[in-house]
Structure 1
Amino acid sequence: MAEQSPSHDAAILLQHVIKRYPGPHGDIVALAGIDLSVRQGEIFGLLGPNGAGKTTTIETLAGLRRPTSGTVRVLGHDPVTERDEIRKCVAIQPQHAAVFEQQTVAELLRVWASLYPDPETPDAIIEMMGLTASRDVRVSKLSGGQRQRLLVGTALISRPRLLVLDEPSTGMDPNARQELWDAVRTHRASGGTVLLSTHSMEEAEMLCDRVAVLHQGQVAACGTPQDLINTHAPDREVHFTVPVGTDLAQLRSTPGVSHVDTHDTGADTRVVVRTSDSDAAFGLLAGPLGARHIQIKEAGLEAVFRILTGVDFHEANSTDQSAEHDGSQPTKSEGVMA
Structure 2
Amino acid sequence: MNDHDQMQQTVLSVNSLVKRYGDLTAVDGISLDVRAHEIVGVLGPNGAGKTSLLEMVVGLRTPTSGRIRVLDTDPASNTPELRKAVSLQAQQADIFPNLTTIEILELWASFYDQPRDPHTVLSDVGLTSSHGVRVKELSGGQARRLLVGTALIGNPQLAILDEPSSGLDPNARADLWDVITAFRDEGRTVVLSTHSMEEAEAVCDRVAIMHQGRIVALGRPGELIAEHAPYHVVSCAREPGQDLTWAAELPDALRVATVGNRVNIHTQNHQNVMEALSAAERPARDLRVRSAGLDEVFRDLTGTDLNDDAAESTQDSQRVKA
- How far residue 189 of structure 1 moved from its aligned partner, in angstroms, is 0.9
1:11 matched residue in structure 2: 11
Q: RMSD of the TM alignment (CA)?
A: 3.1
Output the amino acid matched with 1:252: L
Counterpart CA distance in 2 for 1:56 and 1:67 is 9
Change over 3 Å in CA distance of 1:204–1:8 after alignment to 2: closer
Identity, % of aligned positions: 47
Change over 3 Å in CA distance of 1:93–1:288 after alignment to 2: closer
Contact kept? 1:229, 1:300, Cα under 8 Å:
yes
1:253 matched residue in structure 2: 251
Counterpart CA distance in 2 for 1:245 and 1:300 is 27
Deviations 1:181-200 (A, max 9, x none): 11111110111100001111
- How far residue 313 of structure 1 moved from its aligned partner, in angstroms, is 2.1
Counterpart CA distance in 2 for 1:232 and 1:260 is 17
Output the amino acid matched with 1:10: T
Counterpart CA distance in 2 for 1:86 and 1:198 is 24
Output the amino acid matched with 1:276: Q
Contact kept? 1:50, 1:316, Cα under 8 Å:
no
**2:286 maps to 1:293:** yes
Counterpart CA distance in 1 for 2:221 and 2:213 is 20
Q: List aligned pairs for 1:196-211, cutoff 5 A.
A: 196-211=192-207
Of 184, 187, 190, the residue aligned with 1:191 is 187
Counterpart CA distance in 1 for 2:82 and 2:227 is 36
Question: Bigger relative contact order, structure 1 or 2, given CA contacts below 8 A and separation 6+?
Answer: 1
> Normalized against structure 1, the TM-score is what?
0.80
Query: What secondary structure, in the 3-state scheme, does the structure 2 residue paired with 1:212 have?
Result: strand
Counterpart CA distance in 1 for 2:212 and 2:205 is 23
User: Which runs of 5 or more residues in structure 2 are unaligned?
Assistant: 1-6, 312-322
Counterpart CA distance in 1 for 2:310 and 2:79 is 32
- How far residue 283 of structure 1 moved from its aligned partner, in angstroms, is 5.3
Q: List aligned pairs for 1:1-338, cutoff 5 A.
A: 9-21=9-21, 23=22, 27-240=23-236, 252-254=250-252, 257-259=253-255, 272-282=264-274, 292-315=285-308
Query: What secondary structure, in the 3-state scheme, does the structure 1 residue paired with 2:19 have?
Result: strand
Counterpart CA distance in 1 for 2:65 and 2:28 is 10
Output the amino acid matched with 1:300: G
- How far residue 72 of structure 1 moved from its aligned partner, in angstroms, is 0.7
- How far residue 84 of structure 1 moved from its aligned partner, in angstroms, is 3.0
Counterpart CA distance in 2 for 1:262 and 1:106 is 47
Counterpart CA distance in 1 for 2:86 and 2:58 is 8
2:319 matched residue in structure 1: none
> Normalized against structure 2, the TM-score is what?
0.83
Contact kept? 2:40, 2:206, Cα under 8 Å:
yes
Change over 3 Å in CA distance of 1:231–1:171 after alignment to 2: same
- How far residue 284 of structure 1 moved from its aligned partner, in angstroms, is 5.5
Contact kept? 2:195, 2:306, Cα under 8 Å:
no
Change over 3 Å in CA distance of 1:313–1:260 after alignment to 2: closer
Query: What secondary structure, in the 3-state scheme, does the structure 2 residue paired with 1:154 have?
Result: helix
Query: What secondary structure, in the 3-state scheme, does the structure 1 residue paired with 2:307 have?
Result: helix
Output the amino acid matched with 1:188: R
Output the amino acid matched with 2:269: D
Output the amino acid matched with 1:16: S
Query: What secondary structure, in the 3-state scheme, does the structure 2 residue paired with 1:304 have?
Result: helix
Aligned residues between the structures = 301
Deviations 1:253-277 (A, max 9, x none): 34xx3235799x9xxxx86432112
Deviations 1:58-97 (A, max 9, x none): 1110112222222211121111135433212001111111
Contact kept? 2:8, 2:35, Cα under 8 Å:
no
- How far residue 47 of structure 1 moved from its aligned partner, in angstroms, is 0.7
Contact kept? 1:61, 1:74, Cα under 8 Å:
yes
Change over 3 Å in CA distance of 1:164–1:277 after alignment to 2: same
User: Which runs of 5 or more residues in structure 1 are unaligned?
Assistant: 1-6, 319-338
Contact kept? 1:63, 1:83, Cα under 8 Å:
no
- How far residue 279 of structure 1 moved from its aligned partner, in angstroms, is 3.6
Counterpart CA distance in 2 for 1:287 and 1:145 is 47
Counterpart CA distance in 2 for 1:260 and 1:19 is 37
Counterpart CA distance in 2 for 1:218 and 1:262 is 29
Query: What secondary structure, in the 3-state scheme, does the structure 1 residue paired with 2:75 have?
Result: coil
Contact kept? 2:8, 2:36, Cα under 8 Å:
no
Counterpart CA distance in 2 for 1:241 and 1:78 is 54
- How far residue 240 of structure 1 moved from its aligned partner, in angstroms, is 3.8
Contact kept? 2:257, 2:263, Cα under 8 Å:
yes
Counterpart CA distance in 2 for 1:143 and 1:207 is 24
